[in-house]
Amino acid sequence: MTNTVHYEWTIEDTDAYGDIHETQSMDVVEAVIRSRTESYTDNCKPVLVLVRQEGNEDEGNVDRQWAYLQSGELPKEFDGGALVPKYILNQYINALIKA
C-alpha cells in the first residue's frame, strides 16, 4: 500500500527541562500567534513545531519527524532527514506576515 504524508502545526507546552506537558494542533497562523504568548500550562513556554507523519491504512503511522524552529526560522529538514516542502516554508512565511 502507498504511504501518504501529512503535515501538522503543533504547539508544545514545554518546561525548563525540555519536558512536554501538552500538545495542541492548529493552523499555522494560529500557531504562530500562540507561540508568541504565554503557555496555558504553568511554568511552561509554547514551542512551535511542524510534525511530519507518514503512513498508510494497513500499517498506520510508519514514520514521524519533527521540525523545530531555530532562531525563529523553520529548518529546511526534519530531524529524521526528510525535506520540509517549499509550500510549507511559504505557508510559515505568510503566517508570520499575517500574525
pLDDT digits (tens, 9 = 90+) for 24-79: 999 898 888 888 888 888 899 999 999 999 999 999 999 999 999 988 899 999 99
Say whether pTM exceeds 0.85: yes
Residue 4 has pLDDT above 90, yes or no: yes
Sort strands 44-56 and 4-15 into parallel, antiparallel or unpaired.
antiparallel
Q: Is the dihedral of CA 8, 91, 78, 59 positive or negative?
A: positive
Residue 63, SS3?
A: strand
Residue 49 is placed in which grid cell?
513545531
> Which residue spans within 1-95 are E strands per DSSP?
4-15, 20-26, 44-56, 60-68
| Contacting residues for 55 by C-beta, under 8 A, at least 6 apart | 3, 4, 61, 62, 63
- pLDDT value of residue 62: 95
- pLDDT value of residue 13: 94
